[in-house]
Amino acid sequence: MSDVRLLGTVGDARAFCEEARARGAVVGLVPTMGALHEGHLSLLRRSVAETDVTVVSIFVNPLQFGAGEDLEAYPRGFEDDVRLCAAEGAEAVFAPGAAEMYPAPPVTNLDFGELSAPLEGVHRPGHLPGVGVVVAKLFAIVGACRAYFGEKDWQQLAVVRRLAADLSLPVEVVGCPTVREPDGLALSSRNAYLDPAERAAAVVLQRSLRAGAALIEAGERRTGAVEAAMAEVLASAPLLGPVDYACVVDAATLAPREPLAGELRLLVAAHLGGARLIDNLGATVPT
C-alpha cells in the first residue's frame, strides 16, 4: 500500500496539482462523496492507469441535497475511504470541510436549461444546480486535468460535460461504465439503506431497463410502448415504492424522441424502503 497525501484546504489542493503539472504530470480527478465502493474504485483505477497523478475528492456536498433528503444520514467512512484510495494508487485525497468549500453561502446559481429540467430536475429540483456549483469549484481548484465520472448518474454526467464545454474549462470529462453486482444492480452508496428483502427486489430497475431495450432492439420505435413495458416490469416488483420516472430519451440532449432514433438512453428512478435508486441503459437505433 502506498502513502496518500491528505489535502484539507483549497490552497493545499491547488498547490499540489500545480506542482504536479509543473513537473509535466497529467492530473486525474475522481470526485466522490465518500462511502467508496467498487464503482468509485473503477474510476480511480482508470485514472491511475491513464494519468500520472490521481486526486480523489471526498466531500458530501450540502448544495445537492434538498429538504428532507438524506444529507445527515448519507453513508460516511473516511478512514476506510483513505485506505482504499492508497491501496489503489491515488497520490492525494482532497477532503475539505463544508466551511472550507463554502466560507460564505454561495449566491452563484448554475442553470443548465433543458438539460437539467426533466427527470432529476423535476423530482430533485435543486440537485443538479448544486452538483454544478461543487464540480465547477473542484475544476477551478484542481485545474487542468482528466475528470472521471460514472455513467450511472447519466444526467449528472451530461450536465458536467456541458459545464466544462460551455465555460471552456481545461478539463477532459471521462464517462466510465456503470459497475454492477452479479445480479445487475448498479452499485450505489445508497444500496446500504436496503434490507435483504429490499435488496432482492432492487434488481427490478435493471430488469425494466432491459425490457425496454429489448423492445427497441426488436424494432419498436414508439416511445410510449417502450416506456409502458418498463413501467409494467416495475409494477410487478414487491416492495417497490413510488416510481419517479421510467423513460427513454435522446442520450445527449435528454429530450424525448418520436419516433425513437439514434443514440438513446433508458432511465429509471424509484423508491425502495428508505432509498431512492436510479439506473440507466443505452440503446441505439441505426439511422
Strand arrangement of the beta sheet that strand 275-285 belongs to: 240-250, 262-272, 275-285
Identify the CA nearest to 274 among candidates 173, 191, 203.
Answer: 191
Spatial contact of 129 and 104, defined as CB atoms under 8 Å apart: no
Instruction: Give the start-end residues of each E strand in the chain.
Output: 5-7, 27-32, 53-58, 92-94, 145-150, 171-176, 240-250, 262-272, 275-285
Q: How far apart are CA 262 and CA 42, in angstroms?
A: 28
Cβ 4 vs Cβ 91: under 8 Å: yes
Active site residue 40: yes
The catalytic position among 40, 123, 127, 271 is 40
DSSP structure class, residue 9: S
* Cell 480527478 -> residue: 29
Q: Tell me which residue has cell 484542481.
A: 142
Looking up cell 410502448 gives 225
Cell of 53: 497523478
- CB count, 10 Å around CB of 50? 14
Q: Nearest CA to 173 among 162, 165, 161, 163?
A: 161
Query: How far apart, in whole angstroms, are the C-alpha atoms of residue 10 and residue 268?
Result: 36
- Which amino acid is it at 202? A
Q: How many residues in the chain?
A: 287
Catalytic residue positions? 40
